[in-house]
Amino acid sequence: MTRVLIVGAGHAGGRVAQHLVEGGFAGEIVLVGEEVHIPYERPALSKEFLLGKQDVAEFSLPVCEASEACRFERRVGRVTSVDPVERTVSTADGETIEWDRLVIATGADARRPPIPGNDLSHVHVLRTIDDALRLKSAITAAKNLVIIGAGVIGLEVASSARGHGVAICVIEPAERVMARILSPSASHWLAEQHRAAGTDLRLGRGVSEIHGDAVILDDGSVIAADTVLLATGAAPATAAFASVVAAGADGVPTDAHCRVEGHEHIYAVGDVALSSSPIYGRALRQETWRNAENQAQAVAQILLGGEEPYSELPWMWTDQLGHNIQVVGFCAGDREVVRGDPATGKACLFQLDGDRLVGAVLLGEGKQRKHVERLILDRVPVTDAQLGDPVQALKALA
Ligand SMILES: Cc1cc2nc3c(=O)[nH]c(=O)nc-3n(C[C@H](O)[C@H](O)[C@H](O)COP(=O)(O)OP(=O)(O)OC[C@H]3O[C@@H](n4cnc5c(N)ncnc54)[C@H](O)[C@@H]3O)c2cc1C
């Protein structure tokens, strides 16, 4: 009986197990993960869950169960190493688990930059349900919340914390917010929304120390802080896989079929996977809900005998201060064309490279996503005039 061992019982790992069972996999599935919770989706942790509008059951995956064809077992534990020759993993509890096919689905760990004071009890990160519970209870009692990092999670928490009557300061070393994902004009628009909502946004500033009641900036300013969130990104969780991943790699490198390079029976999915993208012809590591969702399905299909390579155009969304913002592709064009007026909260900010669309930021215009994706994927030639004119339906161009 073939045993598939999935390491990491988060969003992608949980979905691989679910799709294997539903796809009639005849064998044994073992899902081993560090968290005690059943697999769940994380986006609500910084949004609805923090706002008290959703509980855990609403974003947990369906409970996976054995079927007639397949055995299923979920274990709680931390995998510490892999032996690709003997086809085993070792766990922190001293267990050895055998496998025929291994799926690495360990996601990413919240980064803790080496700032003195980063381990004080009022300093938080946000990756898991347990992190979110601690942060939620701290914010409820807080007077001064300092968020280090103006990326997606930092700004979503700033938005969610608004209703708690807490003073919020966001500190970001880059000169603009969500700089990795948004175009400069979209960053500028979003920063204005946060400032208008009362957030003290300090751009181009680092933190030199965290104290029990304050954060000290690199220009010597002292910001009162009884609660601090380190929202400084996430690093792929590769520590257990030194035997199959070169030191310093930004994730687990895979081919387009999600197979780990040089190891035909090992696969990687989700945030940890650095997968060869047929769309871009280079390796991409995507930290998004859709990637976890669809790559898990692709790997399950491949384990069930499918041949389709995995191909995914980057897409993410964020909800902040009542605005839904979606980013498709990359903000890496040679110019931006704007349709609509960002001041109204509804606009499309298109990124063009020559006469091709390569990305877009959709402010309150999520309904355009599918058309934008078609224009990018089909490499449809477009003009600035067509994209900038709100009367021209994108659907007709795609
Ligand atoms: C607060 C928050 C908000 C987000 N919001 C959005 C959003 O709005 N839109 C969007 O597109 N994306 C969002 N994301 C990103 C999205 O949630 C992730 O891309 C997705 O969870 C990745 O799934 P994964 O299975 O790869 O990793 P995870 O869901 O993190 O699962 C990995 C699991 O592996 C376990 N693990 C790690 N190492 C080991 C080990 N050695 N042994 C055993 N188990 C291990 C971990 O404990 C974890 O349970 C958000 C993420 C967070 C944290």
CB of 110 closer than 6 angstroms to any ligand 1 atom: no
Domain annotation for the chain: domains and CATH numbers: 3-109+234-303 (3.50.50.60), 112-230 (3.50.50.60), 322-397 (3.30.390.30)
Closest atom, ligand 1, to C-alpha of 32: 43
Q: Give the tens place of pLDDT for each residue, 238-284.
A: 999 999 999 889 999 999 999 999 999 999 999 999 999 999 999 99
Q: What is the mean pLDDT of residues 364-388?
A: 97
Q: Where are the beta strands (DSSP E) in 155-286?
A: 167-172, 200-203, 207-210, 214-217, 222-224, 227-230, 234-236, 252-254, 266-268, 273-277, 282-284
What is the predicted pLDDT for the residue at 68? 86
d(CA 360, ligand 1 centre) in Å = 25
Q: Which of 40, 47, 289, 327 to mutate to test the pocket of ligand 1 (most atoms within 8 A of CB)?
A: 289
Q: Which residues of 293-310 are buried (b: 16+ CB within 10 A; e: fewer)?
A: ebbbbbbbbbbeeeeeeb
Q: Is 174 exposed, middle or buried (0-12, 13-18, 19+ CB in 10 A)?
A: middle
The residue nearest atom 27 of ligand 1, judged by CA position, is 107
| C-alpha 340 to ligand 1 mean position (Å) | 34
Contact 365, 340 (CB under 8 A): yes
In the numeric block, the tokens 């019982």 are attached to 9
14-53 pLDDT, tens digit per residue, is 999 999 999 999 999 999 999 999 999 999 999 999 989 9
Radius of gyration for the chain, computed over Cα atoms and rounded to the nearest angstrom: 22
- Which residue minimizes the CA distance to atom 4 of ligand 1? 43
Residue from 356, 349, 258 nearest 307 by CA: 258
Cα(252) to ligand 1 centroid in Å equals 15
Ligand 1 neighbour 33 (Cβ under 6 A): yes
- For ligand 1, atom 2: residue with the closest CA: 43
Q: How confident is the model at residue 134 (pLDDT cuts 50, 70, 90)?
A: very high
- Residue 83 alpha carbon to ligand 1 centre in Å: 24
Euclidean distance between CA atoms 5 and 32, whole angstroms: 8
329 and 313 Cβ atoms separated by less than 8 Å: yes
Residue 89 is predicted with a pLDDT of: 98
Q: Ligand 1 in contact with 286 (CB < 6 A)?
A: no
Nearest Cα to Cα of residue 124 among 227, 201, 209, 44:
227
Note the residue count of the chain: 398
7 lines ligand 1 (CB under 6 A): yes
Q: DSSP states of 108-159 as a string?
A: EEE-----TTTTSTTEE--SSHHHHHHHHHHHHH-SEEEEE--SHHHHHHHH
Q: Is the pLDDT of residue 391 over 90?
A: yes
Question: What would the pLDDT profile of 67-118 be if each residue is shown by its tens digit?
Answer: 888 999 999 999 999 999 999 999 999 999 999 999 999 999 999 999 999 9
pLDDT tens per residue, range 303-326: 999 999 999 999 999 999 999 999
How far away, in angstroms, is 41 Cα from ligand 1 center?
Answer: 7
Taking the centre of ligand 1 as the mean of its atom positions, its distance from the CA of residue 210, in whole angstroms, is 27
Q: Which atom of ligand 1 is nearest to the CA of 46?
A: 1
| pLDDT band per the 50, 70, 90 thresholds, residue 163 | confident
